[in-house]
Structure 1
Amino acid sequence: MATETIDKSKVIRDAATVVLIRDADTKPRVLMGQRGAKAAFMPNKFVFPGGAVDKADHGLPLGDKGAEPCRTRLGEDAKDGIGPALLAAAIRELFEETGQILGTPGDWPTAPPPTWEGFARAGYLPSPDGLAFVFRAITPPGRSRRFDARFFVADAARIKTDPDDFSRAEDELSHLQWIPLSDVRDFDLPFITQVVLAEIAGRLPDLDAPASVPYFKNDEEESLFIRLGGQSPLA
C-alpha cells in the first residue's frame, strides 16, 4: 500500500513562543538561545524559546486559565479551543529549552504525559499567570517549515526557578543567555524576532497585554497585517 508523503513546507502548525524580560524597568534583558547549524528551521539564529503545539498540550490541568483579553484574542481567527493548548505549549517549550518554570506548586490529578514528566517531577502545575499575548505571525509560504506562532511576553520575576540556571535545559538551544535589549541587534536574529522585540521594547516597562495584537497573516492567498482586538486591517 502506497504511503502518502506530507510536504512539511505546506503544513502550518500552531506554535507558541515565550519572550522573558528581566529588569524591564531598569536595564531590560531578554532570554534567548542559538539554534543548531543543522536545524531544519532557522539554523544558527538566536531565538526565543518556543515550538509547535503537541497533542499532549491539549486538556492539561493548568494552574489557572490565563487572563483576559488574551484568552479571547487567542481564539480569534483560530481553531476552536486552541487557547489553553497554546498557553501550555509556551510553558512546556520554555521548560524544555531553558529549564525555567512558569507554574504553581501542586500535584497533577493524573499521570502527566511523557513530555510533561520533568515539569511534574519539579512539583508544579503549568500556569500561564503573567503570560501576555503580544504578537502573532504565520511563516510565509516557501519556507522549509511553517508555523502559526503566538508570542507571549512575561516578566522573568514570574519564573519559579533560578533565572541563571539552565542545567535542566535540553540541547535544542545553545548559548542560552540574558541579552541586553541595547545589544540584541548585534546577534543573528530572524526578521520576525526583530519585529517582535521592537514591538515589546516600544512598550517597556509595560509587560501587560497590548491594546491590540499585531498579526502577520501570511496564507496561500495573500499577506495581511491586521490586529486582533477589534481594529481593522492595516494597509
Structure 2
Amino acid sequence: MILLRRSRAGTSVLMGMRGAKAAFMPSKYVFPGGAVDPEDTMAVLSRPLADIHHRRLLAEPREEAPANPRAIAAAALRELAEETGLLIGNPASPPSPWPGYAEAALAADASALRYVFRAITPPGRPRRFDAHFFLADAARITGDPDDFSRACDELSHLHWVPLTEARNLNLPFITEVVLAEVAQLASAVPHDAELPDPATVPFFDNRGSSPRFSQIA
C-alpha cells in the first residue's frame, strides 16, 4: 500500500523498515503490505474497489492462483491497519473485523485505492510473491496520519518521507521502480486534486526465463 501525503509544500510517502532478521528483504525500507489471508475474501467493506481496478487485477492471471480483486484490496487495507495502525474506512455496522476497525466501528473503504503496479518476483528467491501495489491519498485516512501507536512490530522507523528523498533510502529495486511511477502519476495533478487512475498499470513479470515488462490496460 502506497500512501501519499500531499500539500502545497510537497508530497511525502509512508515507509517503514523491515527487521534485520526478516526472511524477505531484511533491513530494507518498504511500503506497508502483505499476503492475502483466507478471511479477506469475506471481509466487510463499506465501498468496493472501482471497476477499472477490479478489471485490471483480473488481467494476466496465474493458473495456480487466480486473482480475487476484492480479497486483494481487503488485504491491502488490513495490512495497512496492522502494520501502521492507520485506517481508511467509513462508519458501518457491522465493521470490518480487524483490529482498529472493529473498535472504531468502521468498515474499510476500498474505493480509496488505485491499482498502480504489479510485480512477480524472480525464481530462485527464498520467497516469491505476486505483488499488487495500490495507491491512496492520506487525506482518506480516518484519524491522525502521524499516529502509529497501534502499529505491530513488523515495520520499524515508520515515517513520512518526502517523495523527492525516498529513493535515498535502502530500498528494494522494485520499490525504486514503483516510486518513480507514483511520483510521475502524482505530479500530473495539483496537490489538492484527486489522485488520478493510471492510464495503464506497469507489470514487471518474472514468470518466464527472462524478465518481461508490460502494461495492463
Q: TM-score, normalised by structure 2?
A: 0.90
Which residue is equivalent to 1:199?
A: 181
4+ runs deviating over 6 angstroms: none
- Summarize the Cα distance change of 1:129–1:221 in structure 2 as closer, same or farther, 3 Å threshold: same
CA contact (8 A) 2:87 2:100 kept: no
Name the aligned partner's letter for residue 117 of structure 2: F
Compute the displacement of 1:26 (Å): 4.0
Q: Percent identity?
A: 52
Correspondence 1:210 to 2:192: no
Aligned equivalent of 1:167, options 139, 149, 153: 149
In structure 2, what is the Cα distance between the partners aligned to 1:161 and 1:32? 18
Name the aligned partner's letter for residue 184 of structure 2: G
Instruction: State the secondary structure of the residue aligned to 1:129.
Output: helix
- Summarize the Cα distance change of 1:81–1:151 in structure 2 as closer, same or farther, 3 Å threshold: closer
CA contact (8 A) 1:25 1:204 kept: no
Which residue is equivalent to 2:19?
A: 36
Name the aligned partner's letter for residue 181 of structure 1: L
Which residue is equivalent to 1:62?
A: 45
Larger helix proportion of the pair: 2
Compute the displacement of 1:117 (Å): 4.2
Compute the displacement of 1:27 (Å): 0.6
Name the aligned partner's letter for residue 216 of structure 2: L
Instruction: State the secondary structure of the residue aligned to 1:56.
Output: helix
Correspondence 1:142 to 2:124: yes
In structure 2, what is the Cα distance between the partners aligned to 1:89 and 1:169? 16
1:64-92 deviations in whole A, cap 9, x for unaligned?
Answer: 11113111101112355610000000000
1:87-134 deviations in whole A, cap 9, x for unaligned?
Answer: 00000010000000011111227x93xxx2442122111111221000
Name the aligned partner's letter for residue 89 of structure 1: A
Segments of structure 1 that go 5 or more residues without pairing to the other structure are 1-17, 230-235
Name the aligned partner's letter for residue 166 of structure 1: F
Q: TM-score, normalised by structure 1?
A: 0.84
Greater Rg over alpha carbons, structure:
1
Compute the displacement of 1:222 (Å): 4.0
Segments of structure 2 that go 5 or more residues without pairing to the other structure are 190-194
Compute the displacement of 1:188 (Å): 0.3
| Count of equivalent residues | 208
